[in-house]
Amino acid sequence: MRGEEPTVIEALKTRALPEGSCDYLLEFLRLYRDAVQLVVDRIWGINEKLSWKKLHRLFYSDLVGRGLRAHHAKEIYIYANSLVDSARSNGGRKPVLRRLSARVDKYDYRLDLDNMTLTLKLHSDHEVKLKLVTSRDRVEKFRGWSNYELVVKYEDGEFWVSLYFRRVIKPVKPRTVMAIDLNFDNVTLAVLTLDGRLVKLKRFKTPYRKILTHKIWIERIQRRYPRSWRFIKGVRKAIERHGERIRNISWEYSHKLGDLVAELAIRYHSVIVLEDLDELRENNKKSKEFNKKLGLWFYRRIQFCVDYEAGERDLEVVKVNPRGTSSKCPRCGRKLVEYEHRVLKCKKCDFIGDRDVIATLNLYKKFIKKHSRCGVPGVTLNAPKPDENPSGMQGNKNEAMKTNQTT
């Protein structure tokens, strides 16, 4: 496909024990934090967007003059700039840093996975060697990945490092496209060949009822104790318990679904097509539905798991703009009208189909359109006719309505 190669990024967080004295490391972390603060303070007063080049000109020599290394300096001004950016866009106050934490570029450390050690290059040519306190199994996974960055922290008297690993996915050329439409009560999945033939249609129920029940309980409790629920331990605990249940239900579901989807994609040699949630607009029917009933977080969680499981299996995931996918005719592009419960009809070409299946067909179409210039043959969708099998359309509701509960 176009652009960058798809990659998977994962972090390994582990405790780290300095060999010998930790004085220099602590000194470094303080120096680093104070340097970030200094840059934040100065940028805060400048009312313009700063390019990396400009940041470099403004701060590089000052930071290096404090004994920091070249790449330390770069990490510091870029990090400070991003802090200011996000504080400004949230309408927040000037960031004040308290915690001791430093982001370190690959040029400033040596990672030895065989011996589970890490050597950090600090200020003024000091070095510190750290022993990684974790199991060999956790580390083994990352052999062959590239490590490009780490974050070292001092927290409650202990040092922690998060090592960031990256692996390029070499996707096999897909033979089919798997389009996935997320709804608050179901997830609909369609597998189509590159020339538009439907080979698999599946629908999974979501546990939205269970989640809603807990949500309603929380709201009920909060209404009964509108002012005090935060302060009465028993009440707060009850709310936390329901919140915990919601988290567990949604993670468990998302993991299972991600796994199922990825296994199916392997079987059908599919590229997985998801809706780009960042493109969901306020006026979109779907986003309204979600904000009210469940929240986009549930969507994102499912996508995260699909993405993750696909990455583990070297499968490619592509996101397309979901705009219009649930309202336009997949055959002729006209606006569809309500026909029956969950069934839509096109007035122009008489296409009739299940609402969610239509969404997957449109996602498929968008994918083909977007990628037809780069390897995938440019085909026009031969949308299943209402009376055709196995389209999941009218007269064939059994297949489309079949549900596989994954909870």
Nearer to Zn ion, 308 or 339 (CB): 339
Distances (CA, A) of 182 to 100, 140, 406: 41, 35, 14
For tokens 């404090």, what's the residue?
A: 66
The encoded tokens of residue 167 equal 């692996």
The encoded tokens of residue 223 equal 């209404």
Nearer to Zn ion, 246 or 352 (CB): 352
Return d(Cα 334, Cα 338) in angstroms, integer: 13
Tell the smallest beta-carbon distance from residue 383 to Zn ion (Å): 8
Tell the smallest beta-carbon distance from residue 359 to Zn ion (Å): 15
Amino acid in the structure at residue 344: L
* Residue 294 binding Zn ion, by CB under 5 A: no
Site for Zn ion in 321-380 (CB under 5 A): 329, 331-332, 334, 346, 348-349, 351
Tell the smallest beta-carbon distance from residue 334 to Zn ion (Å): 5
Site for Zn ion in 72-91 (CB under 5 A): none
Most distant CA atoms of the chain, gap in Å: 78
How many residues touch Zn ion under the rule CB under 5 A: the total is: 8
Site for Zn ion in 227-246 (CB under 5 A): none
Tell the smallest beta-carbon distance from residue 164 to Zn ion (Å): 48
Site for Zn ion in 249-288 (CB under 5 A): none
Tell the smallest beta-carbon distance from residue 336 to Zn ion (Å): 8
Instruction: List strands edge to edge, sheet with 146-155.
Output: 100-105, 146-155, 158-168, 7-18, 127-133, 117-121, 109-112
* HEC per residue, 178-223: EEEEECCCEEEEEEEECCCCEEEEEEEECCHHHHHHHHHHHHHHHH
Contact 367, 270 (CB under 8 A): no
Tell the smallest beta-carbon distance from residue 283 to Zn ion (Å): 23
Nearer to Zn ion, 323 or 334 (CB): 334
Distances (CA, A) of 268 to 177, 191, 263: 9, 8, 9
Tell the smallest beta-carbon distance from residue 5 to Zn ion (Å): 38
Nearer to Zn ion, 286 or 331 (CB): 331
Nearer to Zn ion, 35 or 383 (CB): 383
Nearer to Zn ion, 162 or 382 (CB): 382
Distances (CA, A) of 80 to 39, 225, 383: 6, 42, 52
| DSSP helix/strand/coil, 168 | strand
Please say whether the dihedral angle defined by the alpha carbons of residues 213, 215, 221 and 223, taken in this order, is positive or negative: negative
| DSSP helix/strand/coil, 152 | strand
Nearer to Zn ion, 202 or 366 (CB): 366
Tell the smallest beta-carbon distance from residue 324 to Zn ion (Å): 13
Give the angle subtended at the CA of 291 by the CAs of 281 and 405, to the nearest 5°: 110
Tell the smallest beta-carbon distance from residue 7 to Zn ion (Å): 39
Nearer to Zn ion, 110 or 335 (CB): 335
Nearer to Zn ion, 215 or 342 (CB): 342
Contact 121, 69 (CB under 8 A): yes
Q: Which residues bind Zn ion (CB under 5 A)?
A: 329, 331-332, 334, 346, 348-349, 351
